[in-house]
A and B are shown apart, each in its own frame.
Chain A
Amino acid sequence: MAVQDAIIGWKTITHGCHVLEPGSTRHFKTGDWRSMRPVVDKEKCIKCGMCYIFCPDMCYSQTEEGYYEANMDYCKGCGICANECPKDAITMVPEEEE
């Protein structure tokens, strides 16, 4: 691997390689791993939060009206939320179709 591939210098690397910023993986957007995205049908949604609790990527947050919305910056498109939604309110749609 060439020298220029290094992403940090030995003088700037942190003490003992400690990571000083908690939760810093949020700077890495995993959204582009996705080929399918979840789309919520608010008509069917009963605001139960199952999608929120079962997402392995902490994507969902609650909107002011109480619905749940997934952050597409991180959603990997696994489909657990759609599978677990008790009301089948979530559909996984291919990325290209929008």
Chain B
Amino acid sequence: MAKRVGIEVSIAIAEAVKLAQAEVVAAYPITPQTHIVEHLSELVADGELDAEFIPVESEHAALSTCCGSVAAGARTYTATSSQGLMLMSEVLYVASGMRLPIVMTVANRALSAPISIWNDHQDIMTQRDCGWIQTFAENGQEAVDLTLHAFRVAEDRKVSLPMIVNIDGFTLSHVIEPIELPDQADVDRYLPPFKPKYKLDPKKPISMGPVGIPEVYTEARMAHDQAIKNAKRWIIKAWDEFEEVFGRRYNPVEEYRTEDAEIVLVTMGSISETAMTAVDKMRDEGKKVGLLKIRLWRPFPGPEFRKAAKGAKVLAVVDRTLAPGASSGPVGEELRTVFYKVPGAPKIFNFIAGLGGRDVTVERFEEMVDKAASYAKKRPKELYEVIGVREK
């Protein structure tokens, strides 16, 4: 029987990696990812997980090492955050272009300067286009479940792409939650052994990572784009199977009290929990407010999102990153594109909130909803607004 325990989310993620029987873990410490890899190194040291734990000398090396191990046929995991993700950046693009199914947890954190160890989504949003499948977890249970799901999807021969599970640093990584840790037998049923179609093998030599001349490069990129778009089907199918085995249901976009909602908040990650509380409060006050939570970020589930947002008149989209000089935040921009020239599309207002560890409280969500309601009547001057910023 699966057991429900009070456990720190980072530890639970490491336990999920153990349940997935990862064979190579290469990682470099950075707050707030550290507890995940510390626990994994303990599991390996204690013989509870039969894997090679490689304490590399940098994040760039971590992901480079992962490229080598997965290409040689081993189930491979890593985790990082913030500056570490930036250092990895070069290799992120290589890993996905080479279709290497690595699974990585990113404990989302702000970027320097000024240096900040606290949570927002600036790290991962710089890697928006790195060609990895990306999901966002809302709570500890999801963090565990999405980790198992990530191995299932990434290694599926029909997908064969690397996958990132985003968890909010501290607000998720360091909290103790009641989490159901699945049974090994169930995990084994859900997650078949890793059998890549291609690997480095002297019996059948292939070359990986060749030069792409102009006569092939566009086609290579197109193939990658199509692969990640097609992956959506298998991502959803793997969630269907997850429900069958473990009884919990996941969708690309989750709806919360959206029936008859006129103003709908859009969130990603752990702030969704506070957002639900805020929605409940506003509903109690008779406001027709709902919430859409984006779980699948890449490939972006456009049709699913449009369907989920049907009937909404206004979307208040929360971004947890500030893109200096851009027209709006990445999520805001994405949704404006998704609804461009769609008849009956909702009005979209973009709010930047919760940067570098600043709390996004119930009151802040109420503020965003109120502002969105008033902007719907009178267009604001700016395309986005930073919430809770002090002027003097």
Contact = CB atoms under 8 A, between A and B. Distances in A.
A9 B216 CA distance: 8
Interface string A2-22: 000111111101011111101
Contacts of A13: 216, 219-220, 223
B320 interface: no
A11 B224 CA distance: 10
A20 B206 contact: yes
A22 B223 contact: no
Contacts of B212: 17
B99 A16 contact: yes
B208 A16 contact: yes
B206 A5 contact: no
A6 B98 contact: no
Majority-rule SS of A interface residues: loop
A16 B214 contact: no
B157 to A, nearest CB: 9
B215 interface: yes
Interface size of B as a range? 20 to 34
Contacts of A10: 218-220, 222-223, 226
Contacts of A17: 97-98, 209-210, 212, 216, 220
A18 to B, nearest CB: 5
A1 B222 contact: no
Contacts, number: 57
Contacts of A9: 219
Given A13-B220, A15-B160, A7 B98 contact: no
Contact of B197 (A5, A8, A15): A15
A5 B218 CA distance: 11
A8 to B, nearest CB: 6
Contact of A22 (B98, B100, B205, B210): B205
A56 B169 CA distance: 54
B206 A19 contact: yes
A18 B214 contact: no
Given A15-B99, A16-B98, A17-B98, A8 B216 contact: yes
A16 B100 contact: yes
A82 to B, nearest CB: 31
Contacts of B226: 10
B158 to A, nearest CB: 11
A68 B219 CA distance: 43
13 contacts: A1-B214, A5-B215, A6-B218, A7-B215, A10-B219, A10-B222, A13-B219, A16-B100, A16-B160, A18-B98, A18-B206, A18-B208, A22-B206
9 pairs of A and B residues whose beta carbons are closest in the complex: A16-B99, A10-B222, A19-B207, A10-B219, A16-B98, A7-B215, A22-B205, A10-B223, A13-B219
Given A6-B219, A16-B100, A19-B208, 17 more contacts: A1-B215, A6-B216, A6-B218, A7-B215, A7-B216, A8-B216, A10-B219, A10-B220, A10-B222, A10-B226, A11-B223, A13-B216, A13-B223, A16-B198, A17-B97, A17-B220, A22-B206
